Amino acid sequence: MQSSWLEAWQSEAALQMSRTAPFLRCGKTFRQPSAFLRYIPFHPDPHNTGGNMSSTKNPGRFAGLLYVLTSIVGFFAMIYVPSKLIVQGNAAATASNIATHEMLFRLGIAAELVGQAGFIFVVMTLYELLKGVNRRYASLMVTLLVVQIPIAFLNELNSFAALVLVRGADFLSMLGKPQRDALAMLFLNLHGSGFVVNEIFYGLWLLPLALLVYRSRFLPRFLGVWLALAGIAWVVLSLTSVLFPQYQDKVFSYSQPASLGEVAFVLWLLIRGARPPAQDATALSSTAA
């Protein structure tokens, strides 16, 4: 049971990085920050005689940058910390690692909370970017993403419960250490199940985003199609984990090409940037004046 939990959690954490760490999946492409800090205009401006555009004046590029920052935090919380503390199939060793490196475990919890909260700002920049396409769909996108954040916050209570058991509070003196270690692993197991619950919303919020991207005239349509496939893949993976857990690994493997749609979207925003036509027109008018 412990082994199957760890394998499930590792696969869940790896796939979650398609949402919270798309940049990190392709980190080898951008080894130097200066490679993506340069502004590359989506539409050439004939009136532009030189100089770079600040990322704060390009909502698409700014959203991509925020996405990367939250991805780094998410990588630390969901990949780095478990890889250092969790021992496959060994509750005693896992509990010992958490007790020895308690601050690292706490930093993982804090990073998860900060990353989830930070994604509010990511979706708000996407709303500002795409609200001109269809305000109703943009609002739906924000709603579907924001609703998952309280679930993620509550899910971290399972991590706190595991930490309390590992530390061995006075009121737990009636339980022996093997029992406390087993209960700690149970709460970590529930923490992984919380990821499964949230995967539905990970997919649902991508569907209105995909439609907005597809209908926009300043982002490639293929990104919209790819995002829709990524959203469907998330929902299918979540339902598979609940209904047919024995096929979870197989569905995870098949869903990887679809999940890369979010990676492509973030990299496009980060490298090329995106501005609604109204902002381009305003920029041209200001330059001409």
Provide the residue range defining the domain that includes 211. Answer: 2-20+56-274
Q: What is the torsional sign of CA 49, 52, 57, 61?
A: positive
CB contact set of 131 (below 8 Å; sequence gap of 6+)? 138
Is residue 232 in some structural domain?
A: yes
Cβ of 20: how many Cβ atoms within 10 Å? 27
Is residue 33 in some structural domain?
A: no
Is residue 287 in some structural domain?
A: no
Is residue 240 in some structural domain?
A: yes
pLDDT at 12 over 80: no
Section 230-243 average pLDDT:
95
Confidence of residue 165 (pLDDT cuts 50, 70, 90): very high
| Residue closest to 263 by CA, chosen among 40, 29, 82, 8 | 29
pLDDT at 59 over 70: yes
Contact in structure between 134 and 212 (CB atoms under 8 Å): yes
pLDDT at 9 over 70: no
Is residue 109 in some structural domain?
A: yes
pLDDT at 139 over 60: yes
Q: What is the DSSP letter of 168?
A: T
Structure tokens belonging to residue 118: 């930070």
Task: In whole angstroms, give the CA distance from residue 137 to residue 127.
Answer: 9
pLDDT at 154 over 70: yes
Residue with more model confidence, 114 or 41? 114
Q: Give me the phi and psi of 44, to 5 degrees please.
A: -60, 135
pLDDT at 235 over 50: yes
Q: pLDDT tens digits for 199-229?
A: 999 999 999 999 999 999 899 999 999 999 9
Task: In whole angstroms, give the CA distance from residue 54 to residue 241.
Answer: 43
pLDDT at residue 34, as a whole number: 37
Section 186-198 average pLDDT:
91
Report how many domains make up the chain.
1
Chain centroid offset of residue 175 CA: 37
Q: pLDDT tens digits for 89-100?
A: 889 999 999 999
Angle at CA of residue 176, ends 174 and 181, nearest 5°: 125
Least confident residue range of 171-185, 198-212, 225-239: 171-185
Q: pLDDT tens digits for 94-121?
A: 999 999 999 999 999 999 999 999 999 9
Is residue 37 in some structural domain?
A: no
Terminal Cα distance for the chain, rounded: 69
Is residue 51 in some structural domain?
A: no
pLDDT at residue 179, as a whole number: 92
Task: In whole angstroms, give the CA distance from residue 106 to residue 91.
Answer: 18
Confidence of residue 58 (pLDDT cuts 50, 70, 90): confident
Confidence of residue 25 (pLDDT cuts 50, 70, 90): very low
pLDDT at 31 over 50: no
Is residue 43 in some structural domain?
A: no
pLDDT at residue 118, as a whole number: 93
Chain centroid offset of residue 216 CA: 23
Angle at CA of residue 266, ends 263 and 268, nearest 5°: 105
Query: At what angle are helices 148-167 and 102-130 packed, to 10 degrees?
Result: 180
Angle at CA of residue 85, ends 203 and 155, nearest 5°: 40
